Amino acid sequence: MQGIFTGNSPWAMPWFDRVLPNIHKLVSFLPSGTIFTRFIPADTPASAGGSWSRYYRTWYAMTLEHLEPGQIDLVPELAKYVPPAAVVDKRVYSPWYSGELQAVLARSNTDTLIVSGGETDVCVLASVLGAIDVGYRVIVATDAVCSSSDETHDAIQVFFGQRLSQQVETAETAEIVEAWQSPLLRTVRNG
Q: Cβ–Cβ contacts within 10 Å for residue 32, how many?
A: 10
Euclidean distance between CA atoms 77 and 113, whole angstroms? 21
pLDDT in tens, 110-140: 999 999 999 999 999 999 999 999 999 999 9
pLDDT in tens, 41-65: 999 999 998 999 999 999 999 999 9
pLDDT of residue 183: 66
* Domains of the chain, CATH where assigned: 3-190 (3.40.50.850)
Euclidean distance between CA atoms 59 and 10, whole angstroms? 9
Average pLDDT over residues 137-158: 95
Contact 35, 107 (CB under 8 A): no
pLDDT of residue 191: 39
Burial of 59 (0-12, 13-18, 19+ CB in 10 A): middle
Largest CA distance in the chain: 54
- At 185, the pLDDT band (50, 70, 90 cuts) reads low
pLDDT of residue 151: 95
pLDDT: is 190 or 143 the higher one? 143
- The pTM score is 0.91
- At 182, the pLDDT band (50, 70, 90 cuts) reads confident
For 54, the enclosing helix (H) or strand (E) is helix 50-58
Torsion region of 125: left, alpha or beta (phi above 0 gives left; psi -120 to 50 gives alpha): alpha
- At 35, the pLDDT band (50, 70, 90 cuts) reads very high
Euclidean distance between CA atoms 135 and 81, whole angstroms? 27
pLDDT of residue 135: 95
Of 18, 129, 131, 117, nearest in space to 74 by CA: 117
Euclidean distance between CA atoms 80 and 65, whole angstroms? 26
Q: What's the chain's average pLDDT?
A: 93
DSSP code string of 4-26: GGSTT-TT--TTHHHHHHHHHHH
- At 190, the pLDDT band (50, 70, 90 cuts) reads very low
